[in-house]
Amino acid sequence: MSIRKLKAAIRDIPDFPQPGILFKDITPVLKDPKLFRAAVDLFAKRHRDKGIRKIAVIDARGFLFGAALAYKLKAGVVPIRKKGKLPYQTYEESYDLEYGSATLAIHVDAFSPGEPVVLVDDLLATGGTALASAKLIERAGGKVEEIDFLVELGFLNGRAKLGGYNLFAPIKY
């Protein structure tokens, strides 16, 4: 399955979640078994036999790719959620995004010290969500080996904000 086919399946939704935003909708990739498997396999190939013990997943679409990736790699899954959604003690990190601000949280006992982690989300936009998530992983003791996205919106320069991290995004706009 080619990256071109994955990219062709992603549709544009204008003015979502607010006017002026062009949302890249990945649900056509998710609903097609071949496309979904191809996307997960792209990530899995990068990390097979590299000792990744945990996949950190960003609420909510990161959960979909990251959980499947963790299964393939025989790794654990660590959710990074919006503030107030995790039941145990958490670290929190606030950040700005292209249409507002938010706070993310992670359980304080999510990782063993220095544990290798891959952070997964569906899309890199301004980089605020991914940077906040990477900081949370590090505060909780994990070591971010790579941050993986299915899609990168290059015109928003999120990669620049994440300069200290290895990044992978096979689809770029």
pLDDT in single tens digits along all 173 residues of the chain: 699 999 999 999 999 988 988 999 999 999 999 999 999 999 999 999 999 999 999 999 999 999 999 999 999 999 999 999 999 999 999 998 666 789 999 999 999 999 999 999 999 999 999 999 999 999 999 999 999 999 999 999 999 999 999 999 999 99
110 backbone dihedrals φ, ψ, rounded to 5°: -65, -30
Q: Is the Cβ–Cβ distance between 27 and 122 less than 8 Å?
A: no
The helix (run of H) or strand (run of E) holding residue 102 is strand 100-107
138 catalytic, yes or no?
A: no
* Residues contacting 164, CB < 8 A, separation 6+: none
Active-site entry in 37, 46, 92, 98: 98
Active-site entry in 46, 61, 81, 139: 61
**pTM (2 decimals)?**
0.95
User: For the chain, which residues make up each domain, given as ranges?
Assistant: 52-172
Q: In whole angstroms, give the CA distance from residue 62 to residue 64.
A: 5
Burial letters 56-81, b for 16+ CB under 10 A, else e: bbbbebbbbbbbbbbebbebebbbbb
Start-to-end Cα distance in the chain: 19
37 catalytic, yes or no?
A: no
Note the CATH architecture for domain 52-172.
3-Layer(aba) Sandwich (3.40)
Closest to 40 measured CA to CA, from 96, 157, 122, 127: 122
